[in-house]
Chain A
Amino acid sequence: MFTINPFAEMSAYIPAAVMQAYIVVMVLFVIGGTVLDMLHKKSAEYFFENAKKAEKAAKRTVSGGEKASLAIQTLTNEVLTSAEFANPKRRISHIFTMYGFILFAATTAIMIFAYPTPATPTPGIIPLLWHVGALMLCFGGYWFWFSIRVDVNSEGKKWYKLDRADLFVVSLLMTCTFALIWSILQSAGVSGLSTLAFVLFILSSTVLFVGVYFSKFAHMFFKPAAAYQKRVTRADGSNENLPYDYDLSDPAVHKRFPDIPEYMGKNPPNMGLGIKRESPNHY
């Protein structure tokens, strides 16, 4: 069941060219939605203005090589491992959702463009990855929706109360859920219900991609840029007006701040975690 390409089975009813055209239109909607979102929120304008302000306040210039290394660090930390999250539960849930979505979207495109009909048999690994991606999305997404999100809202809002801010996560969850249901029902040969699941799958994926302008879909494009910019400000000393990260064993720091060696010694030990020993959950 998990190694069958559900789109190839569907090609008996919907021509492959229509499915391919749908994917192209959705990609155009994502690009258009992201550009409109940036223009409306003026996020790009703010971003470059802020970057210019930081450059003015810089204590030193960051070389091209250093910038490349910062970009690699951003990729390996903030992008690939969602290191920006301070809450480990949200971080794990985000990793599942992110990689699940990438697997799901990439294998959908591969199956529709490379193996659209049963005439070109699909290697079993691709539909398998498609199902694994959808399951990962469901795991991370439902965990977020029923536990993490509800915890944050322990002040009263229930899981079934929807907001415009939930458009992205809800349409994403509906897309992968109905995709899985459709694939299972189709391979089980339940034709009526599988058509219904397919219609709901297409409906929710259309909402997901057409609603980019209204949802937080575009965060996957501008978050890495913001994380990189944050690293640059740390490297050039402007540091968003935050204090420096002092090395407490440095004699120059001892000379400037004599309280440090007097009360903590010349090479203070790691003090461990204070208030951060306990995860915040009292609200």
Chain B
Amino acid sequence: MPTFVYMTRCDGCGQCVDICPSDIMHIDKSLRRAYNIEPNMCWECYSCVKACPHHAIDVRGYADFAPLGHSVRVHRDEEKGVIAWRIKFRNGKKDMDLLAPITTKPWGQEIPQLADVAAPSDEMRNSELLFNEPKYVRLDDGGLHTLESNGLKLKEGVYY
């Protein structure tokens, strides 16, 4: 079910308006509080719920992961680099916590500097290959690449 805003918590900062991928979180013109202008178009991505610094936005989750009447709330801590979830059933007894990393390195420091990469030569420009294409996708060079043949290992989870 779509997002809704606790009006007493919202201070109209606009983080949800900026982050909403559907552009449906707006600031009410007279009350200066956020609200979902088109609940039908909300696909519950939780972007605004995570971005709100006051936890003023909430979503009632579907019954496919907890019986109706439950509470699912999230706290995204950028400085710690983690996201924490808490799901509480309506009887109040089942109270579950989840904690997961959302980054392993400080934000904004590991952005690839493509401007520093050498410019392609004319030969590369005329080639059918993409610029800076990783060697692992070059099927014309050495046949089918596998993780094993390249000395790589599949890891689970978030890593760079």
A and B: bona fide binding partners: yes
Chain A positions within 8 Å of B, measured between CB atoms, are 56-57, 84-87, 90, 149, 152-153, 155-157, 163-166, 226, 240-246, 248, 253, 256-257, 259-260, 262-264, 268-277, 280-283
A166–B26 Cα gap in the complex (Å)?
19
Contacting A274 at CB < 8 Å: which of B74, B99, B103? Answer: B103
Contacting A262 at CB < 8 Å: which of B31, B105, B157? Answer: B157
Q: Does the CB pair B55–A240 fall under 8 Å?
A: yes
Min CB gap B58→A, angstroms: 9
A156–B75 Cα gap in the complex (Å)?
33
Contacting B79 at CB < 8 Å: which of A87, A253, A273, A275? Answer: A273
Stretch of B10-18, B38-46, B128-136, B145-153 lying at the A interface = B10-18
Q: Does the CB pair A283–B104 fall under 8 Å?
A: no
A275–B103 Cα gap in the complex (Å)?
13
Contacting A263 at CB < 8 Å: which of B13, B71, B80, B159? Answer: B159
A149–B28 Cα gap in the complex (Å)?
11
Q: Does the CB pair A246–B88 fall under 8 Å?
A: no
A248–B103 Cα gap in the complex (Å)?
13
B101 contacts the other chain (Cβ, under 8 Å)?
yes
26 A-B residue pairs with CB within 8 Å? A84-B11, A85-B13, A90-B11, A152-B12, A152-B14, A164-B30, A165-B31, A240-B55, A243-B97, A244-B84, A245-B75, A256-B99, A257-B100, A259-B99, A259-B157, A263-B158, A264-B104, A269-B106, A274-B103, A276-B78, A277-B107, A280-B17, A280-B18, A281-B14, A283-B17, A283-B18
Task: Summarize B's interface: helix, strand, loop or mixed.
Answer: loop
Query: Given A87-B11, A155-B29, A271 and B18 touching (CB < 8 A)?
Result: no
Q: Does the CB pair B27–A274 fall under 8 Å?
A: no
Q: Does the CB pair B29–A153 fall under 8 Å?
A: yes
1/0 contact string of B1-30 vs chain A (CB within 8 Å)? 000000010011111011100000011011
A256–B84 Cα gap in the complex (Å)?
13
Chain B positions within 8 Å of A, measured between CB atoms, are 8, 11-15, 17-19, 26-27, 29-32, 51, 53-55, 71, 73-75, 77-82, 84-86, 88, 92, 97-101, 103-108, 157-159
Which residues on the A side are within 8 Å of B18 (C-beta)? 280-283
Contacting B75 at CB < 8 Å: which of A157, A243, A262, A271? Answer: A243
Which residues on the A side are within 8 Å of B74 (C-beta)? 243
Q: Does the CB pair B29–A157 fall under 8 Å?
A: yes
Q: Does the CB pair B157–A263 fall under 8 Å?
A: yes
Known interface pairs A152-B12, A152-B27, A276-B53; 17 further A-B residue pairs with C-beta atoms within 8 A, sorted by A's residue number: A56-B92, A84-B54, A90-B11, A152-B32, A163-B29, A164-B30, A243-B86, A244-B84, A244-B97, A245-B75, A260-B101, A263-B101, A263-B157, A264-B101, A274-B108, A276-B78, A282-B18
Query: Given A86-B54, A153-B27, A281-B14, A273 and B100 touching (CB < 8 A)?
Result: no
Q: Does the CB pair A275–B29 fall under 8 Å?
A: no
Contacting B100 at CB < 8 Å: which of A57, A87, A259? Answer: A259
Query: Given A153-B27, A263-B157, A248 and B82 touching (CB < 8 A)?
Result: yes
Min CB gap B47→A, angstroms: 10
Which residues on the A side are within 8 Å of B12 (C-beta)? 87, 90, 152
A156–B71 Cα gap in the complex (Å)?
36
Q: Does the CB pair B79–A241 fall under 8 Å?
A: no
Query: Given A242-B86, A275-B19, A264 and B32 touching (CB < 8 A)?
Result: no
A149–B159 Cα gap in the complex (Å)?
42
Min CB gap B34→A, angstroms: 10
Query: Given A152-B14, A259-B100, A272 and B30 touching (CB < 8 A)?
Result: no
Query: Given A271-B107, A272-B106, A274-B107, A86 and B11 touching (CB < 8 A)?
Result: yes
